[in-house]
Structure 1
Amino acid sequence: MTITSTNQAQFFASLKSAIPSYASLVDEVAETLNVSMDSAYRRIRGEKLLDFEELRILCQRFNVSLDKFFSLNSNSIMFQGKTNTYQDDSFMMWMEDVLAQLNLVNSFSHKHVYFLVKDMPPFHHYYHPALAGFKFFFWMKSILLFESLKSVKFSIADNHFEKYREITQKTIKIYNRVPTSEIWNEEGLNTTLRQIEVYHEMGLIKNPEDTITLYNCVLEVIDHLEKMAETGKKSILGHPPTEESAEYKMYLNEIVLGDNTFMAELGETKITYLNHSVMYFIGSTDQKFNESMFKNLENLMKRSTLISGTGEKKRKQFFNKLRKKVEIKLSRVDLRIDTND
């Protein structure tokens, strides 16, 4: 297989779409290959052909497939992502990776994210410190298997949120600047509600009053989501939208249960993130794959009801059903407390 100046130029064109709009391709190439600016320009223009080691380094740095370089028409789809490292700082690493991906999306002038909701998106848990603290504790104890939490029970008073307060606030700030379309189903709250319920039943929540508080936090988040859907704008819990608040579209699909697929538009490029291992994602910039995924999302949105900015009756019915789910859980906790007393 021969490297030509033509497919090398096409390769660098694909790299250009993989970096933030404010970044310089020649600067990135020069730094990655440790060559001069002139040498980088010559490679980008196809005047100097890349060797295979340089090709490997660039593909690794920019997370692109060799298929793109050789214009191969294969059925393979290249994904990149991270997995649980089972280290003490693995959760912070996960938080930093999520923030980095959002910063990348936000760096483009044209940007939009689409979320096919199975579980309430993690960002919505961040609106409430107590609820975020519970989710962080659950992820670290039951998913990341932190040895230090093996015999620890959850307590709001222990403030599991505080260590991650700064990065959580940064994440919410960036997320609220990115236009978003979410396709929901009535099952979207089930995972979080079930996690609270199971921890309560297993005695992994120290104080039953904390269980009640967590359910009330979920109700406050539901109220906030309804306000965002009503205004069609993102905002911080308890605050109205600001000039920086991005568009928020919420669709209701009563037939299809989502799978937490997350797609981002970055200029002319699309990235699809697929969920794995509960909280991790792998991403692909494969053009054919992304165009197919985007058409699927478009079809789902066409067959869904837009309940943000319009559809007031449907919107109220939907959020009232979500509240009813939480109220049923709350009533069961109250009964347990009365019995124990």
Structure 2
Amino acid sequence: MFKLSPLGKRLGSIPFKPQPNHPLLNDESSVIGFVGLGNMGFNMAKNLVTKSSNSIIVYDINKDATSKFSQIQVPLSSNNDSPRISVASNLSEIAAKSNYIITMLPESAHVKAAYCGKDGLLAHLKPGTVCIDSSTIDTHVSIEVSNLISDKGAIPLDAPVSGGVMGAEAGSLTFMVGGRSSDEFLIAKDILQFMGSKIIHCGGLGTGQTVKICNNMLLGSAMIATAEAMALGTKLGVDPKLLSTVINSSSGRCWSSEVSNPCPGVLPNAPSSRDYNDGFASKLMLKDMYLSLNAAKSQKIPLLLSSLSTQIYGHVCNDADLANKDFSSVFKWINKK
């Protein structure tokens, strides 16, 4: 298990004390800041603004994404008939205007830069702000950033997700939450429920990230195994839909076979049936596999299968096209061999 820094240990034992006039989510004057409108973040933020009555201010370096988000049709604020969606010009504006901040970014470096960079979130963070990071990043970086957030009198939580783009679209994500106390977890749960169907308190700061990298480590290998099974069966002349039906009625059933089958045409809504577009990129799965290997190395745990799976995703990502495709495109890579 990862060890918290002395500051993390100290903060983890402090019971939650609401800030004076701390805004509650059911108060429409509370503003939600959202940073990161990629395939996952865009749909998560969309569910927030369409399901809650709160205003949302968004930021992303991709101006096309923020422009598209600003065009979502939602009712005006009942308080003053003002638009409930706005686009921040920088991270400082997000921090200054938000009571809740959610970050959904690709890697550890992006989260650290968003908070700790020049004119980043920390520079203008208000005491009492609830800061939820739903990125999948290194546990040590997560704890480091959380401690800096705590120093500002704000509330840090790590809350990575599982469920993929389809789960983000449907609002059925699973959130794995690490935080300083159960009271602070309940505050986060109030907002996460608009984006997910399962919100699980995993323990102290960083535990959400630990659970997530374990889950993705398993998922990465399971997808490769599913892709190999589908490739073998179809090469031997079995109809892929029939093969999938049998697998999903048998002991080989898993998320990769049932929800995101890697064989095109088996599931119409899966990324594989959209030329592997609009999913969880292979390069991000490779990043997550490395996170698990690095964590295992620190604990001296051999991960033989996961090491091999990481090598396979490395080969997939050597194909510039497949690197940005959904990680189920490992099926396509296998069939090229």
TM-score (norm 2): 0.28
**Structure with greater proportional helix content:** 1
TM-score (norm 1): 0.28
Give the greater-gyration-radius structure (CA): 1
